[in-house]
Amino acid sequence: MNLYDISVFLREHNNYEILTHNYPDGDTLGSGYALCIALQQLGKNARVITAKLPPKFEYLTEGVEEQNFTADYIISTDVAADSLLAPNMEKYLGKIDICIDHHGSNSVTAKEKFVDKYAAANCEIIYKLLMRMGVNFTKQIVDCLYTGISTDTGCFRYTNTTADTFRIAASLVELGCNSAYINKVMFETKSKEKIMLEREVYDTITYCANEKCAIVWVTLDMLKSLNIGEDEIEGLASIPRQIEGVLIGITMKEKEGGFFKISVRTNGDIDAAKFCSKFGGGGHKAAAGCSINGSLEDVRSQLIKAAEETL
């Protein structure tokens, strides 16, 4: 199913629920809300299903009409695997009609898929889809799309950024997106608590594999002591990768239930997705993730072993 086929399907049918992944970021939310607003603009019933929405992303919901309907079709956006759906989405497992994603490792169970592993952000794909659907690119839509592209490229600094990424971003700016506001909120604004958390995270830095790998972690106790919510964790994954000489940067984030969510960022030719596949995860070459059960020491030991084997 190509983008044209999907555009025809969406115009011919109605009553859509759009799924985002757990621990939602700018790309999954931007994709979901841009598509939702576009479908509503075409007279369709649509709503976004998400886990708890981080406050800084609340502007993405502007222009979204709350509608009462029974869903006939399920669409997932920026969801790379069934396991990445939030706990409140278990009823959708195996029932996704169309999966739209940019992760080459995509393993979502869906009737139809469109996966473009060369897209820097899923919002690039949604942009091209909405072009084919002939929708009006309102300020709400372009803000959603720019948010996804900007956040998934680290404000156009990551290696996944392509010439196509810049062209689409430029088009969104021309269409009136508030790029300055979005970039400030996403990359230059931190709460005092977030600054304190980052200071503690820097104190956890552990090196291995001849200092070519750096590991940091965030525990539930750290979050509790600083009274910080899950939404403040975003962006920490870039810390170990920024260290000179580090090829693999790993961030461990403790979650309720006795496991750690692992974010891996790499430099050079190291494949982050391949690294995370050792633990049942996946993603992109330079950015990937997985989850590992166990205590901090046990999980850290597994990651150190994997890093030393890789390097």
Helix (H) or strand (E) holding 261: strand 259-266
Q: Tell me the per-residue pLDDT of 160-186, one tens digit each, with 9 for 90 and over.
A: 999 999 999 999 999 999 999 999 999
Residues 183 and 196 in one domain: no
Read off the pTM.
0.86
Q: Are residues 136 and 11 part of one domain?
A: yes
Is the CA virtual torsion 150, 264, 234, 190 positive or negative? negative
At 284 the pLDDT is 83
Cα separation, 26 vs 170, whole angstroms: 18
How many other CB atoms are found less than 10 A from the CB of residue 77? 29
pLDDT number for residue 52: 85
- Residue 200: which domain range? 192-310
Percent helix, strand, coil in the chain, to 5, is 45, 20, 35
**Together in a domain, 88 and 137:** yes
Is the pLDDT at 232 greater than 80, yes or no? no
CA distance 172 to 209: 43
Strand partners for 75: 18, 98
pLDDT surpasses 80 at 229 = no
- 31 shares a domain with 71: yes
Q: What is the CATH number of the domain that holds 232?
A: 3.10.310.30
Distance from C-alpha of 84 to C-alpha of 208, rounded to nearest angstrom: 29
Give the per-residue pLDDT at 233. Answer: 79
pLDDT of residue 61: 96
- In tens, the pLDDT along 240-263 reads 999 999 999 999 999 989 999 999
Look at residue 175 and give its three-state secondary structure. coil
Q: Which tokens in the block code for residue 297?
A: 């020491």
Total of domains in the chain: 2
Which pLDDT tens digit goes with each residue over 264-298?
A: 999 989 999 899 999 988 888 888 899 999 999 99
Burial of 94 by CB count in 10 Å (0-12 exposed, 13-18 middle, 19+ buried)? exposed
Q: Evaluate if residue 23 carries a pLDDT over 90.
A: no
Confidence at 223, pLDDT banded by 50, 70, 90: very high
